[in-house]
Every structure is written in C-alpha cells, then in structure tokens.
Amino acid sequence: MDPISVLVLLLTIFVLAIFVGFEIITKVPPTLHTPLMSGSNAISGIAVIGAILSAGLQHSALTAWLGFGAIVFAMINVMGGFVVTDRMLSMFKKKD
Amino acid sequence: MNLINTIQNLGYLLASILFILGLKGLAHPRTAVRANRMGALGMLIAIVVTLVNKGMSYEYIIAGIVVGGVIGTIMALKTPMTGMPQMVALLNGFGGLASALVAGAALIELEVDPGALHASLTQVTLAIGASALIGAVTLTGSLIAFLKLQEIMTGNAILYPGQQIVKALLGAACIVLVAMIVANPANHLLYLVLCLVAALLGVLLVIPIGGADMPVVIALLNSYSGLAAAATGFVLSNNVLIIAGSLVGASGVILTMIMCKAMNRSLGNVLFGTWGAASEGAKGAGMEIYEGKVKSTSADELAMILDGVTKVVFVPGYGLAVAQAQHATRDLANVLKERGIDVKYAIHPVAGRMPGHMNVLLAEADVPYDELIEMDVINPQLAQTDVAIVLGANDVVNPVARDDPHSPIAGMPILDVDKCKTVVVVKRSLSHGFAGIPNPLFALPNTLMYFADAKKALLDTIAALKEQ
C-alpha cells in the first residue's frame, strides 16, 4: 500500500473509533463514571504494544531502554487501571 | 503479508472488539464487572500477539512487564477509595509518559532501520511530535493535579501576572518544535527540547486551576492520555492503538463536558478563568445574612423529627468522605428503613472529587446503587420529601445559583433541597464552600443547622433514635 492510502486508512479508523466512543460512553450512567475513568485509563495503556516492540527489537541500546521505561509506565497503567476498576465495580450492589 | 503479521492483526482486531464491548458493558452496574474483565482480556491478547514477532529478545520486556505490573497492582490494591482521584491522575500521567517514550524510541529507530517504515515519513514524524507534545503535557499536568489532590501542594489557584501570555508562547513554541522535527527528523535534540517545553506547559496549565475544578482537569487529562496513545498509533501505523486511544479520548471529552455543565461553566473558563482566585478574597464575607436567622439542632431533636416521616433524602458531599462518615450514613439509613421510611441519596454530578466519586464512596459502604439518585431525577421529588439531611455538601445546594443571576455560581444546576419540608444541614460551622460565598439555605425558616462532625452527628442520631 502506498503511504497516502495508509494514512487515509488510519484516519478512517481514527474517526470511526471516535464516533463509536461517543456512542457507547454517553450510555454509561453517572454512577459508574469513576470506574469508567480508571477502566479507560487501563485501556490507554495500550501504548505498551509499541513499547514491547522497541524493547524487544533493540535497534540500539537507547531505544531498548526507552522501550523498557515505556513498558514499566504503561504496565502500571494497565494493571493499576484494570485491578482498581475491578475492585470498585465489585462493590456496586443492588438492594437485596 | 506473512502469517505472523496476519495473526497479529487479527489479534489486534479481537482486542479492539473486546475494548469496545468492555466500555459498552459499563452501561449497567450488573454487567460492568464482566465488561472490565473483557477489556483486560483484550489487553492480554494484544500483548501476547505482539510478543510473537521475529527477532525479539525478551529480557527487557519481561523485566518491564513484571516491574510495571507489580507496581500497578500494589497501587490498585492499596489506594483508598477517597484517594481514587489522585490515583487516576497519576495513571493518566504515566499513560502520557509511556506514549512520549515510545515516540522517542520510534524517532531514533527511523534512522537505525529506515526499512521498517510503513507509512510516509511526514505522517510518522508529525505523529511522533504530537505524541511527545500531548504525552509530556499529560505527564506534568497530571503530576501537578496529583500533588494538589494529595494536598502536598496547595489546592488554591496559583496565579502570576502575564500567565496567559506565557502559556500562549509556550504552546506556540511546541507547535514550532513539532514542525522542526517534521522538517529535520535526524536532529534528536529537537525531540528532547519539545518534551521539556511541553512538560513546562503542562505544569503551567494546571497550577492556576483551583481545587474545586480538579474533576474537570482529571477528565481532560484522561482524554489527553488517550489521544497520546492514538498519536502513537499513527507513529507505528497500528490500528489497535488508534482505536483504543480514540475510545479513551472520546470518554475523557464526554466526562469533561458533563463536569463543565454541572458547574455551568465553559471549558475555557475552567482552564483560563480566575474563578478560584476571585473567590479567595471573598472568604468570610457576607456572613451577615445568617444573623438571627440560623436555628441549630441536636441529635435528640433530629431523632424526633425523623420519627413518623415517610421520605428522607441524604445529600452527601466530599466532606462526608473526609469525615469517614459513609458507614455511619448507611447505618442511619438502615435504622430509618427498618421503620418503613423511604430513604434515597441525592447525588450531584460534582459531589466528590471526580466524576462519579461519591457513588463509589457510598458503594464501598454497601449502599445499594439503586438508592443513589441523579440530580435531574431526584429534584422533582424533593418537594414531597419530609427531611433532607445535607452532609458535607455546600455549593451544590446553594439556592442563589438558581435565584440570583449575579452570583458567581449563577446558573449552576443545584439540588433543590430548600423545597423539602425540613432541611437538616450537618456542618462544623457556617463556613463557605469552594465557591467562597454564603449559603442562604442555612438561614431559611425550614432549615436546621446541626453543628458537629458528620460521623459523630450521625452516630448520636442513631443512638437517640434507638432510645425513643
């Protein structure tokens, strides 16, 4: 694929994902807004994928270390976000 | 396209679907736990398929995953629910930092391995610049928000002359630096300078914002951390990064708009206004409206009032959590429910220190979520409510927001507790809330002030009710 087609494809995905995001997030009730923030935080840790590539392919010592640092911070985001969200959501109970 | 590549891309597609379903499931508390785990599964799949690349060595990867994973898990298990805004702020910052670091590595890799480029050089370098800019602003902005929320730093707005000009100049410098990186990708120093200038901008953007506006700032930084990840997706031409980043970006923007609406202020006013500072000078002013009109009450009197009513609404604010009175509130609610009284909780959108914070604090105290009622739903019911018990909330129940167009909080949606037959405000003193203005609610004929610590007041009232 030529570079321009790649860019157009990526932009298409970007714009459509934003629309999907707006549609599903507006349906989240206010009572779950804090878990929404911590959970979406965990998802933004997806940068860990790019970090894994840099740390694994090791084009140079510097990129390997940058990759390592990025993995640490992204993983704090991922584990911290998902675990704390799970902890919060398991507290939400209906009247019995 | 080889087989490994195809498997990876299908794995990323599956991860994207799981992220979307994960957020979709947050539409109801019943499905939310499973939804969050689906999101986590999506992340696991994305990580695993990335590991099967050719020519990878794993020592740095495993070390990074273990170190980050352990720190994250400990943070998640140890942070108290009152500290959730700080934790989310910190996580936002780390997300931004990770994206900026990946962008930096990609910039260096461009030179070492130009063959790996899948897209146009302009796209990649522009995305690297955007990722570094947003990532660095998110990092330092979040750290300042963390320091303010943790009360290591003053929660008041820090202002200095010419601050808008300084911020505008730094913002312009960032854009010029991004353009310079695009024009000259081989100069890695530019990336470093961009990160430093953007980091300074992040600090300056958040220090002038007062404590009451922190929910907006956290929501906005949440959005930035997502956008930084999406920008990194354009660096690597990777779909799952773009999709996940956009979802988070959209989520943060929606929450930011909800918070702004709940305070009747524009985003520009929150970010660049001087609301917090203006109120500073007014502290303690206007106390004369209370003179001779405030009636105080006690546990015994409150117990008597609560005897024989049919509907009671609790109005919790962040002060309730500070006093650690959530459990005492639930205990009083249970005593009332045993007597056949209808008990509800009225939740203002900005109660607590981040969107939905009060709901989490009450859920922790085993308050069923179906008793927590949103402002728009509970307001019409308040005229039929016998007693409203206001605990640690102030500005969100101030009738001047509705009645006085010249008030600093004019137009802010409030809980209309003044329409209840009796209002009991549990508060240590007549001091002002975040907005720094007096609250005429305290002087209304149907209002009783219970001057005490919230937890003690509730426990005394429970004891008085049991003695009856």
Question: Are the beta carbons of A68 and A55 closer than 8 angstroms?
Answer: yes
Structure tokens at B415: 């809980």
Q: Is B151 found in the same domain as B23?
A: no
Listed as own residue / partner, the contacts of A11-16 with beta carbons closer than 8 Å and 24 or more positions apart are: A13/B239, A13/B242, A13/B243, A14/B230, A14/B233, A14/B234, A14/B242, A14/B246
Does A14 contact B at CB distance below 8 Å? Answer: yes
Side-chain half-sphere CA neighbours of B459 within 13 A: 10
* Closest CA of chain B from A90, distance in Å: 6
Side chain identity, residue B97 = L
Same domain? For B27 and B133 the reply is: no
- Residues B115, B97 share a domain: yes
Check A67 against B357: CB less than 8 A apart.
no
Co-location of B183 and B223 in the same domain: yes
Where residue B282 falls among pLDDT bands split at 50, 70, 90? very low
Active-site position among B300, B366, B395, B418: B395
**Residue A88, Ramachandran bin (φ over 0: left; ψ between -120 and 50: alpha; else beta):** alpha
pLDDT at B424: 94
Q: Which of B219, B250, B356 sits opposite A30 (nearest CB)?
A: B356
Q: Is the domain of B106 the same as that of B220?
A: yes
* Chain A contact set for B261 (CB, 8 A): none
Checking if the pLDDT of B276 tops 80, the result is: no
Question: Does some domain include residue B409?
Answer: yes
pLDDT at B280: 43
Instruction: Kindly state whether residues B327 and B442 are assigned to the same domain.
Output: yes
Distance CA B315, CA B325 (A): 13
Same domain, B329 and B251: no
Q: What is the total count of domains within chain B?
A: 3
Work out the pLDDT band at B190, boundaries 50, 70, 90: very high
How far is Cα B141 from Cα B120, in angstroms, rounded to an integer? 31
Domain span at residue B7 reads 1-78
Q: Which amino acid is at B432?
A: H
A24–B123 CB contact, under 8 Å? no
Last residue within a domain, chosen from B219, B246, B278: B278
* Interatomic CA distance for residues B456 and B299, integer angstroms: 10
* Last-in-domain residue among B78, B101, B125: B78
pLDDT of amino acid A69: 97
Q: Is residue B368 part of a domain?
A: yes
Q: Same structural domain for residues B62 and B145? A: no
Integer Cα distance of B274 and B83 in angstroms: 26
User: Do the domain assignments include residue B37?
Assistant: yes
Of residues A14, A36, A62, nearest to B246 (C-beta) = A14
- Same domain, residue pair B299 and B422: yes
Asked if B46 has any chain A CB less than 8 Å from its own CB, the reply is: yes
Instruction: Judge whether B322 lies within some domain.
Output: yes
Looking at the structure, do residues B150 and B2 belong to the same domain, yes or no? no
B395 as an active site residue: the answer is: yes
Whether the Cβ atoms of residue B148 and residue B154 lie closer than 8 Å to each other: yes
Number of other CB atoms surrounding residue B154 within 10 Å: 12
The pTM of the full predicted model, rounded to 2 decimals, is 0.91
Average pLDDT, chain B: 90
Q: Minimal Cα–Cα distance from A56 to chain B, Å? A: 5
Same domain, B34 and B106: no
Chain segment B361-420, per-residue pLDDT in tens: 999 999 999 999 999 999 999 999 999 999 988 889 999 998 888 888 888 899 999 999
**Residue B256 CB neighbour total at 10 angstroms:** 22
B140 and B235 in a single domain? The answer is: yes
Q: Does the pLDDT of residue A89 top 70, yes or no?
A: yes
For residue B39, the chain A residues in CB contact (below 8 A) are 39, 42-43, 82
d(CA B408, CA B84): 29
Residue pair A57/B50 in contact (Cβ under 8 Å)? The answer is no
Tell me the pLDDT band of B274, cut-offs 50, 70 and 90: low
Last residue in a domain, options B34, B54, B78? B78
Q: Is the pLDDT of residue B258 over 70?
A: yes
Looking at CA atoms only, how far is residue B456 from chain A in angstroms?
25
